[in-house]
Structure 1
Amino acid sequence: MIDDSSDVSGSTEGERAPGWEPPFWALPRAAAVDNLAKALRGYGLSEGGVRTMAQAAVRPDDMRRKLADPAELRVQGGTLLIAETRLWSATVLPHPANPREYGYRQYALAASGTQRSMMTEPGSSPYGTAELEIRVDTPNTIAQRLEDAKSRLIRDNPLAEDIAVEGVLQPLTVVPLIVVHGNGHPGCALLIAADGSSRISAVHELLGYAPSKVVYEWGSDGRRLRNEIGRWSRLVRSQGWQGLTEDERRRVRALSVPARVVVGFRPNNRSGQAFHTAVRNFIGLTHIRPPRPYGASVENEAKADAVLDSLAEPGSSEAPHITELEKRWFAGTISQEEVEAAGLSGRPDVRAGEIVRSLLGGGFRTSQRVNEGIRSLTAKQRPRREERVDVAVELILRPVRTGLSDGAKFVRPRRAVLQRVYRLPEIEDLSAEVRMEGTGADSRSPEELRDAALAEADQGMGNNGRLGPAQTELAVKAAYYMAMASPMALQREVFGGGEDDRGAASVLRAMLSRPRGILQAYEVIRAGRAGERLHEVDENGKPLVTAEGRPRGLTDALVRHAYSGGPAPLETARVGPKAAAMGWACVRESVERLYRDVDGMASVPLEEGGPSFVSEEGWDPSRVREVRETLDRVSRRVADWADRFEERERAVAAEQ
């Protein structure tokens, strides 16, 4: 691995993330807008639809040229005619009857007189144009409906942070909607996202746009719309991209969106299908019966290749994080003969350790490079650490899957275990400065790694809440063989199946915190490399035998029993720092279990496939208050320990 530790560019976790720098889009000339409107009238659209669409175009001349030869988008029952262009975000709204909200929609049949009036589905324009029409009682009806849609979409499908970095990447499919008010209020024309309501809602959230303002202020008054767009254009022109604050950049990226604007509809000769039905069919094809998803493992595979590309590319002020040869090694595209010729290790646990260190170690700077690769496929601004772990695990498993006749059955449980194990926070501390075992001529032997880990355990590492570097490296490599063994010597937690529901990472930390566990990990690695079955060892590292005199095979149950997370029977410490450190390990385990239990409760859905029960319904305040009071007491007590430690540190410093 290339050591980039000499880079002192000052990269910190608060550093401004790289993002898209959009080209400068000036406010279009009024004459260009008028020319586009003239071209749109040739499609028979209503005057309101023509005016709204013409004002929405970022580049009216470009859209007018595309109208001369519109693209065709075939849907069930007909063909939509579209012009792909760019629209100002202040002119597009979410679909007021978004199918994503069907599960939460209120219907008039169940309404009482005190409930607000319900809104019907949009239908086709009675004039045969490629426009939808919806009838509402008052302007407030559709304004409230759009606000409700925006709020729910932002909550259920949050995209604002991702769009703030890269803008909207895929075009929205935009359809004109004519609103007819039942109280005599003048009608209005909107542009709605038949596909992309979540994206446009996130954009409006970034820009601070209220749907009512888009509909009834900017939509009916072109001057106000141009003033809103013009103030941003003037800001970018006067300040330049480099002169904008990060908050201003986030908003400018969202100022416009790519769109496929539907301007016409041609039904099939025999179907005679209505326009609104064709639009509904398009939505269904996109969201209700889309192509079968690739699946998480395939998605992680694709992310893995993108991440390796990112790690192998030099940065603006730093060397590549890995070499091209390491990239091929990690990707699994290099043969065993090439591995040996290059001086790399042919041992799968060494390769796993290097992948884990290169993708997950090194702290913020490594995660930033890995996130760049993930963002290149997903545009996600802040990929979670769990996503980086999943990518690393998928790389580790590539050679394992190859040649297996029943790969899914073998790989699936092992993938789950490794994904949990490699979430050990101590892995983030591994870096290029830490000498690894088995990756070069100057690397230490497995015995040296074992002895270093024993020294760390003797200092209380692991029991104090974090493993040392040698303990962590042993954990990473032993976990690989423990997961690959049959039966597996390390499995994921089984809730409800016994008292021990610890995650695999917690079990591994407890194991590597003890001398016996370190000797066990060393034996696992030795046996795994030799192709032998894994066996349990005693406190001296010697094999334990059954009543029949046979070595006792290592299983998940035996590991959990031997390394319970609290003081083990083999430990003799009862007083002093060692005993206190073991007690602290129990506290840490309890806190981690509490986090898991809270997450588990939060994941209970209100209904099958629905949102979180407690997020929607909440929980009894008296019961919550009781738990919080207990937690407060524990927090104050633990804080007292920290205060006492600091007092002693100050007293010692004063005496020196």
Structure 2
Amino acid sequence: MAGETHVAGSSGLSRADVGAGVDAETLSGADRETGWQPAQWPLPRVAAVDNLADALTGKSFTAGAVRVLSQAAVRPDELRRKLAEPAELRVQGGTLLIAETRLWSAAVVPHPANPREYGRRSYALGGAAANLRVLPEPTSGPGHLAELEILVESPHTLAQRLEDAQSRLARENPLGEDVAVDGVLQPLTVVPMTVRHRDGHRSAPLLIAADGSSRISAVHELLGYAPSKVAYEWSMDSRLFRRETNRWLRLVQKQGWENLSDEEQQKVRVLTVPARVVIGFRPNERTNLPFHTAVRNFIGLTHIRPPKPYGSAVENEAKADAVLDTLAQPTRSRPARISEPQKQWFAGVISHDEALDEGFSPYRDVRAAEIVRSVLGGSAKRRVNDGIRSLTAKQKPTREDRVDIAVELVIRPYRTEMNDLVQVVRPRRAVLQRAYRLKEIEQHLTADLRLEGAEYDGLSLEQLRDEALDEVESGFGDSGELGPAQTELAVKACYYMAVADPMALQREVFGGPEHEDDRSPATVLRAMLARSRGVHQAYEIVRAGRRGEPLLEVDEKGVPNRSAAGEVRELTDTLVRHTYNGEPSTDVPQTTGHKAASLRWAEIRLKVEELTRAVAAMEAVPVDEGGRSLVQRDGWDTEQIKELRATLDRSDRKLATWADVHEDNKMAAQEQAEAEQEL
């Protein structure tokens, strides 16, 4: 294709090499996950902290708030300048005056009366023990200060609540893996709060994350910070605070970023957090709501009545564009994986004629296969994940995430033609998402594989069919795994099977009668392409799909089947599932060679699956109607089970021996190849 970075065949790797998972980027170890390298801020000078404290005092903050705010700032001089011209954040009841800056993570704690606790709070009126009762709601500080106050029984009460909140938030809203890679991306809204104690203990000034308790909890989990230490030790003693912060800064200075361990790098990434510090409040003159009500309204707007989610389809669209940007962007060590024209073709933003002018295939299935290869191929994983993380900060995007993105790109033209009719587009999206989870895609459709329909050195459709037939004869598919040509043909045929009307491949049906086929589309495709008839069928599906003709059932030679009345039969999901039911083909008996062995292996797999289902069915037999499992209550005859397990054990040992022989042969072949290279 025009501008294609990875020209097919240019690496010298054969289709067999690619099918075996060999590609340069994988071999180089480039798939290792990396993360953000933060700027290394120095520990502020004491003079700068004092200057900020003087400026904050002029804003009428209490002495405790001045102390924690001034020592929390990563860049005190910057925050001091922003105090003069704060930004405005309008909320119900007034306007919050804020200054955006970075704070040391050791200075911020979760909201102690986090509204996320609603629904599980223990109330005194219901007889809750004193140490389990809900904390009182914070109130406004004296006058019109932009501070909160909260009254608790003792330091132990608050410390215990903060510890419980951190562990619960880390469990229920786990963000640790995400912030470990990219730090905290969105700023926390930070508000000063003074904790007063009924037992007479001196007040404790805090900085609370009004809208980011989950994020700061994840940060503290990574750093090993106990919230009680932040609240009652570091906020009270600036020397302890600076010592804790400086030990990480000195570690980076001494060893250098590249020499830190992964765990140390993760900790340094979250040493600081972006923050919108509330430094003032202007109440609405008409309502004259107090500051604490305005903060509560802000939290409610953020979490209780947030904007309506876009929905998965829209989210996948946005992530798809981000992924294309990443694939088209060269890195310091590697060129772009796709060209700019390819990016536009994949994105669907150029017309059909413009795509032809660029040298791209006119066929939708070829475009689908190219997208699938570029987004789901094993060597593309790292860049695709980088694109997903650019929008979501998700540390470890799953294969399902990447499949959903590829499918959203694939169906963009079809969606447009169908005017985004949900009842039409949704089932076809679902089928493609399940079908393109075919595990062989990641292994076989790599960047260096020659694709049918590709501009440079591509195969013809007939050549692709013939290679797939050769793979069938070699036993691919019988063993539960398709070859490269079978996989490519499955990807292309599946597109037309999904968009056809009626659909020739639909979603699996769960929970239906026993005669209903609950196999996933990917499993049906594998069963289909494992047989010669299925390869001919896939070939004819692609041919008909490209011509815009109905998809017809074919026989073992690829000739359309006809009814007794001489009429051709249109392909349906029921027909496909019935014809390719996953059972080994017995039309052409094989008695010797790899094909015969692969058919026997398919029988073994089938029998093991039957055994698994039979065990589950026996376990489901109840003692009586609606009762518990009989075998779970009474067990089963020891001698009968011992005899059966001995039989299974003999087969298990035999299978293990076969695997050992295979590994020995593979190692010997590798040693021979290395010896030949040395010569």
TM-score, length-scaled by structure 2: 0.86
Give the match for residue 127 of structure 2. 111
Give the match for residue 268 of structure 1. 284
Cα distance change, pair 588–260 in 1 and its aligned pair in 2 (3 A): farther
Residue by residue, what CA displacement relative to the aligned partner does 1:547-599 show, whole Å, maximum 9, x if unpaired? 443212211111111222234675756995244222245378789999xx9xx
Counterpart residue identity of residue 346, structure 2: F
Counterpart residue identity of residue 359, structure 2: G
Kept after mapping to 1: 8 A contact 2:131/2:157: no
The CA deviation at 1:633 is: 9.8
Give the match for residue 411 of structure 1. 425
Counterpart residue identity of residue 550, structure 1: E
Give the match for residue 5 of structure 2. 2
Whole-angstrom distance in 1 between the partners of 2:581 and 2:113: 54
Give the match for residue 395 of structure 1. 409
Deviates more, 1:642-651 or 1:74-83: 642-651
Cα distance change, pair 393–277 in 1 and its aligned pair in 2 (3 A): same
Residue by residue, what CA displacement relative to the aligned partner does 1:432-476 show, whole Å, maximum 9, x if unpaired? 332211113632222221111111112211121211001000100
Whole-angstrom distance in 1 between the partners of 2:455 and 2:633: 55
Kept after mapping to 2: 8 A contact 1:462/1:513: yes
Counterpart residue identity of residue 432, structure 2: L
Matches within 5 A, 1:519-558: 519-558=536-575
Whole-angstrom distance in 2 between the partners of 1:637 and 1:49: 74
Matches within 5 A, 1:432-471: 432-440=447-455, 442-471=457-486
Whole-angstrom distance in 1 between the partners of 2:664 and 2:307: 68
Give the match for residue 323 of structure 2. 307
Give the match for residue 197 of structure 1. 213
Cα distance change, pair 431–105 in 1 and its aligned pair in 2 (3 A): same
Whole-angstrom distance in 1 between the partners of 2:612 and 2:338: 34
Cα distance change, pair 447–638 in 1 and its aligned pair in 2 (3 A): farther
Kept after mapping to 2: 8 A contact 1:506/1:589: no
DSSP 3-state at the match of 1:142: helix
The CA deviation at 1:652 is: 7.8
Give the match for residue 173 of structure 1. 189
Q: CA RMSD in A?
A: 3.2
Kept after mapping to 2: 8 A contact 1:566/1:585: no
DSSP 3-state at the match of 1:195: coil
Cα distance change, pair 295–44 in 1 and its aligned pair in 2 (3 A): same
Kept after mapping to 2: 8 A contact 1:463/1:585: no
DSSP 3-state at the match of 1:158: coil
Matches within 5 A, 1:207-246: 207-246=223-262
Deviates more, 1:77-86 or 1:231-240: 231-240
Whole-angstrom distance in 1 between the partners of 2:505 and 2:5: 32
The CA deviation at 1:149 is: 1.5
Aligned partner of 2:397 among 376, 383, 396: 383
Give the match for residue 298 of structure 1. 314
Kept after mapping to 2: 8 A contact 1:477/1:525: yes
Identity between Structure 1 and Structure 2 (%): 59
Deviates more, 1:94-103 or 1:194-203: 94-103
* 1:496 pairs with 2:511: yes
More relative contact order, 1 or 2 (CA 8 Å, 6+ apart): 2
DSSP 3-state at the match of 2:96: strand
Cα distance change, pair 647–438 in 1 and its aligned pair in 2 (3 A): closer
The CA deviation at 1:315 is: 2.3
Kept after mapping to 2: 8 A contact 1:536/1:554: yes
Kept after mapping to 1: 8 A contact 2:505/2:572: yes
Matches within 5 A, 1:34-433: 34-113=50-129, 116-361=132-377, 363=378, 365-429=379-443, 430-433=445-448
Counterpart residue identity of residue 198, structure 1: S
Cα distance change, pair 580–102 in 1 and its aligned pair in 2 (3 A): farther
Q: Which runs of 5+ in 1 are unaligned?
A: 598-618
Deviates more, 1:515-524 or 1:107-116: 107-116
The CA deviation at 1:640 is: 2.6
Deviates more, 1:534-543 or 1:519-528: 534-543
Give the match for residue 581 of structure 1. 601
Residue by residue, what CA displacement relative to the aligned partner does 1:214-261 show, whole Å, maximum 9, x if unpaired? 111212211111100111121222223233232222111100001001
Deviates more, 1:192-201 or 1:533-542: 533-542
Whole-angstrom distance in 2 between the partners of 1:287 and 1:651: 59
The CA deviation at 1:311 is: 1.3
Whole-angstrom distance in 1 between the partners of 2:335 and 2:608: 38
Whole-angstrom distance in 2 between the partners of 1:458 and 1:148: 62
* 1:564 pairs with 2:584: no
Kept after mapping to 2: 8 A contact 1:565/1:585: no
TM-score, length-scaled by structure 1: 0.89
